[in-house]
Chain A
Amino acid sequence: MNRIVLALASSLALVTLHAQEKPHAFVGARILPIEGPELESGVLVVQHGKIVAVGGPGTAIPADAIRHDAKGKVIMPGLIDTHSHIGSPEGADSAAPIQPEVRVSDSLNLRSATVMKARAGGITTVNVMPGSGHLLSGQTIYLKLRGGETVDALAIQKKADGSYLGGMKMANGTNPRRGGQPGTTGFPGTRAKSAALVREQFVKAQEYQRKLREAGDDPKKRPARDLAMEALVEVLEGRRVVHHHTHRHDDILTVLRLAKEFGFKVVLHHLSEGWRVADEVAKSGFGASVIVVDSPGGKLEAKDIRMTTPAALAKAGALVGFHTDDPITDSRWFMRSAALAVRAGMDRRAALEGMTLNGAKLLDLQDRVGSLKPGKDADFLLLSGDPLSVYAHVEQTWVEGAKVFDRGDPDQRKYAVGGFGASHDTDDLTHLLALEAEETYQ
């Protein structure tokens, strides 16, 4: 729930609570539900942060609904960026190449303008990751870009223990190959050493896992707590998916080999040369999160990067999502990545799914987000045109039934188009989003 709603609820009491119950109905838009056919003159009804109904012009609109005329607009699910560095994330330091105990959630600045720009770009769910200069740089976090400024407000909490949902960031290839660099210790100098160091840690984690199992419920037999090993056991048991930076064709296959050896779940990221090993990726059953950049080069591993990778992987049968890797590409042009994939041969439907439902699947959040389906979170966008067109703008971004970006508000518009102060921390976020609150309580 939106924090503003919470804040106002406490001050305005019953009036607010009552108003908050009102459904919102968006009427007359072209709706791309992603699951199911596109709807002309469609109707979207949301309430209590969830989608209540999606349908054609005949869809029943509750009598007490706040109606929004959406004629001429396009409505689609909020975008899911499976790999981003918004909010100034930090992970492992230079002391070791593998640091599973480090959590990105302990580093985030969610007042960063990068977060507001992501909302302006239509991103509603995002996997915020530490960097790729390590074989394993720490735990990632999945955020919903609700109208808040703290990790607690934006995180997706596991029901059982209140911990945050996220994955584990790993990398191979040249970025973590920092052996001998001043200020680093224990980093690999070659690809084979990189794999050996990773295998060594996973073997240790298997041992730790075995001891835990053998101890059963007996606290005296349990091994001493080891934060790194605990996190790797989560990976071994499939409770924490590995998000693996990998570019070159052989590096991609190395990831698949290690995943098979230790049985962990992995999402392949970047895949510059994914087009070279599309069949192998598809056969592995693991998903791919692809970056699309404007030209090849800039580093040896990206010399053969192609915009065809998403199409090649999708045609081979792999699950394909996209990411911005913000700041490598800007969150505000996430839709452009999918459009360029279409330019390079990807099917339109696959590209739209790549930005939404497939991203949700890569984060194992498909039950909550990624399509406009009754019961799912009310995360959606109002666009001025087709999402694959350069001329379309995100006019509004809604997360869990609350508006978190409105291009019509001059103060918020700057996060979409830039301008003086557009990169400053948003210490006035509460003020910016008050607009949404007012509308909710009318």
Chain B
Amino acid sequence: MTRLACLLAPLLGFGASLSAQSLAIRADLLHTAAGPALKDGVVLIQDGKIRAVGRASEVKIPSGVAVRRAKVATPGFVDGRSTVGLSGLLNQPHDQDQLEASAPLQPELRALDAYNGRDPLVAYVRSLGVTTVHTGHGPGALISGQTFVVKTDAPEVTRGVLKAEAMVAATLGDGARGRDGKAPGTRAKQIAMLRAELVAAQEYARKQKDAEKGKEPSRDLRKEALLPVLRGELPLLVTAHRAQDILSVLRLAKEFGLAIVLDGGAEAYLVLDELKAAKVPVLLHPTMARAGGETENLSLETAAKLKAAGIPFAFQSGFEGYVPKTRVVLFEAAMAAANGLAFDDVLQALTLAPARLLGVADRVGSLEPGKDGDVALFDGDPFEWTTHCVGTVIGGVVASEGEETGREVPPAR
């Protein structure tokens, strides 16, 4: 049951929440991400959860359950890496909470304490099929803080949170250089500082463990935040683009036994063997990211190369500092569909692959019985520029009635 249902059920009574969260979706073409696409397929959602998936002839829709029809339906998209809800639409100081620039290492900053689910950009990406988003602290500091995973229909973090702590976000290269002579000034210094930070956290863990009862070291939130990373329970999400920085990440992971997720990876295609051997998954930079600076060598074909190499990867919308204020993961994925990645592989990297990578595949990422009733509806090939997302369903509730790109032309005033 979704958290929404948990909250509402005691208030409204079971019946009320059941009817609100029951919906059958019948699509001419149903992509489940868990098997081949079904022609004339039905997803039956009851009490927010998927109860049945199959051909229309096979799934019995109980009376009283509304049926919504669409040409094409897919699992709701899982945006692999974003900063929506922290980097607000207006791009003014009061709505930019994705980066705290006062110090280079702040793993204790929690995404929960910053997320604004009411920012218009959350609704915007939801209207384009995104039902789950991995968001939080952005790139731009050696360690900028934590990320979390949340449903895009949750206005507050009191509900809709799939993972309160998903990863700890780090950045290597130019993006993490200190300004005005502040450390870290160089790449080597960046790695030295990360190693020192991890060693200090190891030391803290050892002292905690060895201390007699009542004589434990006083709590240190910064070091505490790195303990699950050192235990390999929480991945270190490292934004790195240059091949040399990617290899530095792998070296660091090996030294400390870290679980690493590579974010960005503009030059990942140069080090495919190394990534594969290290079993590092990739949250690939937005396909249409601007090629400049450390991303100057990015390629539209990297997704296809990662697929061919057998490296797990997912699409993301990333962080944008100007116009447009967010990318849309659907659009980024579509460009990969036009550059060597097969349709089904693109869909995987938008749905089940990110769900697995984020550790939430038991809840979302595919249309299978028992999972959340999160579905995106389209009037054609979802990747075509001229197709529309005609509805986004979260937990069996229509959370967006159509995309906010403005399908209808309003009157001049």
Contacts and interface: CB of A to CB of B under 8 A. Distances in A.
A294 B330 CA distance: 11
Contacts of A328: 323
Interface stretch (A7-15, A201-209, A216-224, A384-392): A384-392
A419 interface: yes
A336 B408 CA distance: 19
Contact of B337 (A391, A419, A421): A391
Interface in B80-121: 88-92, 120-121
Contacts of A315: 409
Interface in A263-280: 275-279
Interface in A353-392: 388-392
A344 interface: yes
Contact of B335 (A295, A303, A308, A390): A390
A390 B288 CA distance: 13
Interface in B326-341: 326-328, 331, 334-335, 337-339
A17 interface: no
A345 B334 contact: no
Contacts of B288: 330, 333
Contact of A308 (B298, B322, B406): B406
B301 A417 contact: yes
Contact of A297 (B121, B299, B384, B405): B121
A275 B406 CA distance: 11
A135 interface: no
A275 B385 contact: no
B409 A344 contact: yes
Given A330-B288, A419-B297, A422-B299, A297 B89 contact: yes
A417 B412 contact: no
Contact of B409 (A299, A311, A333, A419): A311
Contacts of B297: 418-423
Contacts of A300: 90-92
Nearest to B340: A417
Contact of B338 (A303, A330, A345, A390): A390
B324 A277 contact: no
A328 B386 CA distance: 21
Given A306-B406, A307-B406, A297 B388 contact: no
Nearest to B302: A418
Q: Is the interface of B mostly helix, strand, loop or mixed?
A: loop
B50 to A, nearest CB: 29
Nearest to B383: A390
Interface residues of A, number: 48
B244 to A, nearest CB: 13
Contacts of B148: none
B91 A330 contact: no
B54 to A, nearest CB: 30
Contacts of B384: 389-391
Interface in A327-341: 327-328, 330, 333, 336, 339-340
Given A275-B410, A306-B405, A343-B407, A419 B301 contact: yes
Interface in A213-245: none
A151 interface: no
A303 B405 CA distance: 13
Contacts of A420: 267, 270, 297
B412 A279 contact: yes
Q: Size class of B's contact patch?
A: 35 or more
Contacts of A248: none
Q: Is the interface of A mostly helix, strand, loop or mixed?
A: loop
B296 interface: yes
A438 B272 CA distance: 37
Nearest to B243: A420
A300 B95 CA distance: 12
A340 B88 CA distance: 23
A403 B258 CA distance: 52
B151 to A, nearest CB: 19
A307 B298 CA distance: 27
Given A340-B385, A343-B387, A295 B325 contact: yes
B213 interface: no
Contacts of A424: 296
Contacts of B388: 343
Contacts of A417: 299-301, 339
Interface in A142-159: none
Interface string A55-66: 000000000000
Contacts of B335: 333, 390
A315 to B, nearest CB: 6
B36 interface: no
A131 to B, nearest CB: 13
Interface in A299-317: 299-300, 302-303, 305-308, 311-312, 315-316
B291 A303 contact: no
Contacts of B410: 275, 308, 312
B320 interface: yes
Given A388-B385, A388-B386, A418-B300, A340 B267 contact: no
Contacts of B270: 420
Interface of A: 275-279, 293-300, 302-303, 305-308, 311-312, 315-316, 327-328, 330, 333, 336, 339-340, 342-345, 388-393, 417-424
Given A295-B326, A297-B325, A420-B297, 18 more contacts: A276-B412, A294-B327, A295-B124, A296-B121, A298-B322, A298-B323, A300-B90, A308-B410, A312-B409, A328-B323, A343-B405, A388-B386, A390-B335, A390-B338, A390-B384, A391-B384, A417-B299, A422-B297
13 contacts: A276-B413, A277-B412, A295-B121, A297-B91, A299-B322, A300-B92, A303-B90, A305-B323, A311-B409, A328-B323, A336-B385, A340-B405, A389-B386
Of all A-B residue pairs in the complex, the 3 with the closest CB atoms, nearest first, are A297-B325, A297-B89, A339-B385
